[in-house]
Amino acid sequence: MDKKDTDEFYAKLREKLLDTTDWPSNYLYKFIVPTDEERISQIHDIFDNTGAVIESKKSKKGTYTSLSITVHLKDPDEVILKYKEVSVVEGVISL
């Protein structure tokens, strides 16, 4: 995705979150990342000290790990900020 598409995506997400959720609220992130302790650790570090509950589950073959992260956030801008921070982790897929 180029920068323009990314900006449009986050603008639409922000509007949707404002329309469908009363803030502050719990938000559930779902990511898939290649099973690699360093990458998983990077994501854990991004949510460190936020009170996030992180559940991880390896795929059947162990190649990928899915992360479900529930965290209490004050507004859609915080949600988007975390997506942007996680997007720098190599190989991560946001669901």
**The CA-based dihedral angle spanning residues 20, 5, 67, 21, taken in that order and rounded to the nearest 10 degrees:** -10
- Ranges of each domain in the chain: 3-94
Per-residue pLDDT of the chain (95 residues; tens, 9 = 90+): 677 889 999 999 999 999 999 999 999 999 999 999 999 999 999 999 999 999 999 999 999 999 999 999 999 999 999 999 999 999 999 99
pTM of the entire structure? 0.93
Q: What pLDDT sits at residue 2? A: 76
- The fold of the 3-94 domain, in CATH, is Alpha-Beta Plaits (3.30.70)
